[in-house]
Amino acid sequence: MAPPAAVREKHARDGATRRGDAQAIRSVIAREAAAAGFSAVRIARVGDLGAEPGQRFLKFIAERLHGDMDWLEAKAERRKHPNAMWPEARSAIVLGLSYAPDEDPLRFLAARDRASISVYASRRDYHDVVKPRLKRVARAVQIATSADVKVFVDTAPLMEKPLAALAGLGWQGKHTNLVSREHGSWLYLGIVLTAAEIAPDEAEVSHCGNCRRCLDVCPTAAFPSPYQLDARRCISYLTIEHKGPIPHEFRTAIGNRIYGCDDCLAVCPWNKFAQAAHDQQLAIRPETQGPRLADLLTLHDEAFRKRFAGTPIRRAGHARFMRNALIAAGNSGDATLVPHIEALLGHESPLVRGAAVWALSRLKQQDDLQKLAQAHTRETDESVREEWAMALAS
């Protein structure tokens, strides 16, 4: 039996109201995202993510491809799916902020007396820029839906890139990074999870085709196969996350990259559609644009912290930064750097002393190196002693 006309009319009104509310919520999200300065916003249904991304991630961890990024392993089970971290999450609002450069990001690689710094690190720390903007969007969503919200900028156990692909913001390229048809490889990602059910956007599919430029350009062969990264071979990992001496097999290939590597991002053909970002809060810092190695090698801890305050570079710490600068100095072929390097043989950190030994082995004659070694026979750190032994043996 059909329901009475009054009941049918009420159901129709309720349905129209729900559709109107859904459209109103999406309008609120779009308006607030634009007002906050985001370049793109899409929505995914959390439950649609499925188990596959989490399984791939757990396999990555099980194969030890994450190196010594212990924080990934420690929260692997929570990271495998948003609901493993927050069971009430129903929708993911994925926001992108373009940081597309207006110049060739690889232009300093040939200038071996200078350092090359990744585009993302050459400006204010994106965490400090993105998070307040996310909170603005999240507040608007909470008011519009009366549902709980949480914000994430890659510091919590959440897989942003699979969610971004599910939301239609882009797709994960063969280098595992997100690629957008509008913004290329240059998007900072932020996510607002909400307990509200919000109509999702259509997922994006891969547009890589047969292209493998990102795989072939990698200086250290960090991609065992398309869509798989071995972080232990990645220059970004080695210069930013890795805490110990950089393995000898990668030092020459690192060249003058002292913080991160943009090679696989920069060669992507989709970058031709990306317009240079002009966000005032993400203005390029002049001191990150091809700084002279001679200047970097003289930075003591306080000067380092002051020079790179507010950038991601400072988070690496002085010792790791100097380690990287010394690797670049060793690759420079510039003998005028030798006095600066020798001064670092007395640095308090064995990480720095060991890298200094290697750099000198690349720039000094063997006889001079032998004499220098005799002046440092009191070295007590085993890793530095090994560097001396290898340098003298070669």
The residues that are catalytic are 154
Q: Which two tokens stand for residue 216?
A: 């072939």
Cβ contacts of residue 369 below 8 Å, gap of 6+?
Answer: 360, 361, 391, 392
Task: Give the span between the Cα atoms of 94 and 326, in whole angstroms.
Answer: 39
**What is the C-alpha end-to-end distance of the chain, expressed in Å?**
92
The CA distances from residue 288 to 39, 124, 218, 285, in Å, are 24, 11, 22, 6
Residue pair 254/260 in contact by the 8 Å Cβ criterion: no
Task: Give the span between the Cα atoms of 394 and 392, in whole angstroms.
Answer: 5
Task: Give the span between the Cα atoms of 126 and 116, in whole angstroms.
Answer: 19
Task: Give the span between the Cα atoms of 313 and 194, in whole angstroms.
Answer: 32
Helix (H) or strand (E) holding 305: helix 301-307
Q: Which of 252, 323, 325, 244 is nearest to 292 (CA)?
A: 325
Length of the chain measured in residues:
394
Task: Give the span between the Cα atoms of 246 and 234, in whole angstroms.
Answer: 11
Task: Give the span between the Cα atoms of 249 and 103, in whole angstroms.
Answer: 31
